[in-house]
Structure 1
Amino acid sequence: MKESWRWFGPLDTISLGEVAQTGARGVVTSLHDIPYGEVWTVEAIRERQAQIEGNASLGLTWNVVESLPVHEDIKRGRGDLSRLFANYRQSLVNLASCGIHTVCYNFMPVLDWLRTHHDTPVRGGGRALYFDEATMAGFELGILGRESAAEDYAPDAIERGLEWVAQATDADKDALLDRLMAGLPGAYDRFTVNGLRDVLTTYAGFTNTDLRASFSRFLAEIVPVAEELGIRMCVHPDDPPRPVFGLPRVVSTAGDVDWILAQDDSLANGVTFCSGALGARADNDILKMARRFAPRTHFLHLRNVAKAPDGSFGEAAHLEGDTDMVALLRIWLGEEARRRDEGRVDWDLPFRPDHGHELGPDVGRAAHPGYPFVGRLRGLAELRGVLAALEAPRHHRP
């Protein structure tokens, strides 16, 4: 399996030298400064490649794009989308011409991943990401003023959330909004409360059926070109895998993934298997889903979560939490062996340790939330150790 590391380009407080120190050799990144919907030019792609690969002593390569963003109008299915689809296809052509063939993307409306807390204490003074149902209910009802959110939360979560809002200062509320916006990568503007209300009105009455129709059109427009180019498109699951802000979610369950893969049976239409995002939903059987979707999985996000009965969840250490990571890695090694036996050139699955705890010198370093250095290094080391142990019998047979 190809050890990889997410790097946020020049915006990242973690240097490429430090990335190389982790032992990872693949770099997962994006061109965050290019507005959504615009073409990624060959020049821009090569400039980023030169940053990553220019120092040969580091031994790094840009092996996965995360993400090539899907413009919001494509998700809404609104207006003349021909230019946006053409630009997306041209970006894929340009990436392939530069030797990059794995492209992660998501189809979540408005926001990327979402957490209510970034500094939940863990053993010894570290800090972790957390999604708290009550805080989210309080934000939606007491700050955003989305009255229909009362249908989305349990009465106890609503009560606790509104109690928090009642005693929170303006600074507390602003800090919560900042945390909710942190999943938007790169240099893009974050929403104010009024701005978030405005953008949500553009999805008023928009259902899962509507979003699936937009997604189906996207796949029809993009997958044939990706297949010609040898590109593996891999959609990332919703995070959290449930509706938020009344927005539809269509990449949250096994049934959702079945539907996506059925739209086009090409290997170019695949999945980013995120064990943390999918694992945050109580009715998702992670090991069963991994076995089921392994043949169409092209990229792995490996992390663990610990779920609470009310739907809240926190980022656990990679070998802790609710998912049996050893069993999961055994599935991916088996899939790699199957691909090798078939003679496939893409058998070596890229993976990255996803979301880590802030540990030791991470605290105060101002890394992108969820992407500290030491915490992810711990996760990668743990995953590497499990993989070495699982592969040992194969390498040491008499």
Structure 2
Amino acid sequence: MKATWRWFGPSDPVTLADARQAGAAGIVSSLHHIPDGEAWSEDEVQRHAETIGAAGFRWDVVESIPVSNEIKVRGPYRRRHIDNYKTSIASVGAAGIGVVCYNFIPVIDWARTDLRYPLPSGLALRFDLADFAACDLFLLKRKNAAAAYDAAMLAEAERRFRAMSPERRAALEATVLAPLPGGTVAYSSQEFATTFARYEEINEDDYRETLLEFLREVVPVAEEHGVRLCIHPDDPPINLFGLPRIAGSIAQLRRIVSGVRSPSNGVTFCVGSLGVRSENDLPAMVRELGPDIHFAHLRNVTRESDTVFHEAEHLGGSSDMAAVVFALRREELRRKIEGRRDDQIPFRPDHGHLMLDDVAKADTRPGYSAIGRLKGLAELRGVISGFDLAVEQGLRV
């Protein structure tokens, strides 16, 4: 497995030199300055790749080329945005970058309700559906929002909202509407309402078919240019705002992979996202999806309940990280025997805790401080080394 590091570009307070000291061997990055739906030129991609190369790294994974709302809702500019996406894939392939991670989450890319939840190991990201519902109902005041929640959740959301200070209400709304770290789309409450209105009445089957139509268009281009696309699971993999999320279970991922069968249509295996759902058997999912896993996010979550979770330490939490890593290493060994060129799966530590002297820094991105990810990467490399030593000694793993 190749240890990689998420780098957000020249403005990232965690530098490429820091990534080197942390033990990374490759870089995951994107062209965050290009708006969603616009094309990436070969020159833009090459310049970014050269910056990464000058630091002694290879740009291994693009995370991500964002899929615009126009594509997701079949808007009037959908055709142009899909053509631009094809151009971007071709530019990435021309630079020799073999993997593109993307997501197809409606409206917002991820959802958290607390970015600094205190734990003994530092400050963590957390999601609580009751707080989310309070924001949806009473801060965003989304039309017909109550229909998305049962009576008990409606009552708890109202209780939570009434108990919140003005400062907490403002922080909660900003957190719910915050873009992915490095993302280009940040909504005001009015912009959110306008965007959400474009998604109303979309059901799961329709939304999945929109994704498959998109893949039927772009996967042949990825094949032509030697690029492997891999969808990131929904984060979290539960329906929010009453909208369908279509990449959070083995059945859903199976439909996506089989819907456009190609070596260029695969999955980003995110332990944290998939681990939110207790019914997901993660090692079994790796065994089934293994040939189609092109990238891995190795982070962990602790499920406090069916509707509440927080980011755990990488080897802690509710998912057996060691079992997942062992399953991924077995897949790599299978690929090597098969003679696949992609017999090494890139992975990165994700969403480290904010800890030690990073806590006082004003410019850290939520989940992407240096020390928490360094700690996680060190732990993960230890697990991988343990697996490899056991294999060398002929032990059953």
Q: TM-score, normalised by structure 2?
A: 0.95
Q: Please name the residue that 2:84 is paired with.
A: 87
Q: Equivalences for 1:64-83 in 2 at 5 Å?
A: 64-79=61-76, 81-83=78-80
What is the identity, as a one-letter code, of the residue corresponding to 1:50?
E
Aligned to 2:333: 337
**Retained in 2: the 8 A contact 1:89–1:225?**
yes
Q: 1:80 to 1:181 in 2, by over 3 A?
A: closer
- 1:150 maps to 146
Residue identity matched to 2:174? D
Aligned to 2:158: 162
The answer to whether the Cα contact below 8 Å between 1:32 and 1:185 also exists between their aligned partners in 2 is no
- DSSP 3-state at the match of 2:360: coil
User: Given the alignment, which residue of 77, 91, 97 partners 2:94?
Assistant: 97
Answering whether residue 303 of structure 2 is matched by residue 307 of structure 1, we say yes
Identity level (%): 41
Structure 1 residue aligned with 2:391: 394
Counterpart contact for 1:355–1:376, Cα < 8 Å: yes
For residues 73-222 of structure 1, the aligned pairs below 5 Å read: 73-79=70-76, 81-123=78-120, 126-146=122-142, 148-186=144-182, 188-222=184-218
Number of the residue aligned with 2:235: 239
- Per the alignment, residue 63 of structure 1 pairs with 60
Secondary structure at the residue paired with 2:207?
A: helix
SS, match of residue 9 in structure 1: coil
Distance in 2 between the 1:331 and 1:218 partners? 30
Separation (CA, whole Å) in 1 of partners of 2:94 and 2:58: 15
Rounded to whole Å, the distance in 1 between the matches of 2:294 and 2:354 is: 28
| CA distance in 2 between partners of 1:220 and 1:143 (Å) | 39
Which residue in the other structure is 1:264 paired with?
A: 260
User: Structure 1 residue 146: deviation in Å?
Assistant: 3.1
Equivalent in the alignment of 2:5 = 5
- Give the Cα separation in 1 of the matches to 2:222 and 2:304: 40
Worse-matched range after superposition: 6-15 or 387-396: 387-396
Q: Structure 2: how far apart are the matches of 1:147 and 1:166?
A: 20
Unaligned stretches of 5+ residues in structure 2: none
2:2–2:26 CA contact under 8 A, matched in 1: yes
Q: How many residues align?
A: 394
Partner amino acid, structure 1, of 2:253? V
Deviates more, 1:204-213 or 1:160-169: 160-169
Q: Aligned partners of 2:199, 2:166: CA distance in 1, in Å?
A: 28
Whole-angstrom CA distance in 1 between matches of 2:81 and 2:274: 29
Verify the 8 A CA contact 2:179 2:185 in the aligned structure 1: no
Q: What is the letter of the counterpart of residue 338 of structure 1?
A: R
For 2:11 and 2:162, the matched residues in 1 are separated by: 36
The one-letter code sitting in structure 2 at the alignment partner of 1:114 is: A
The Cα of 1:18 is off from its aligned counterpart by 0.4
2:49 is matched by which residue type in structure 1?
Q
Does structure 1 residue 20 correspond to structure 2 residue 20? yes
- Partner SS state of residue 302, structure 2: strand
Are the equivalent residues in 2 in contact too, given 1:133–1:153 (CA < 8 A)?
Answer: no
SS of corresponding position for 1:49: helix
Q: How far did residue 278 of structure 1 move?
A: 0.7
Deviation at residue 222 of structure 1 after TM alignment: 0.5
Question: Residue 319 of structure 1 corresponds to which residue in structure 2?
Answer: 315
Q: CA deviation at 1:187?
A: 5.9
Unaligned runs of 5+ in 1: none
Which residue, 231, 248, 259 being the options, matches 1:252? Answer: 248
Cα distance per residue 1:187-226 (max 9 Å; x no partner)? 6352122221221111111111221121111011001111
In the other structure, the counterpart of 2:374 is 377
Q: Which residue identity does 1:339 align to in structure 2?
A: R
2:356 to 342, 360, 383: 360
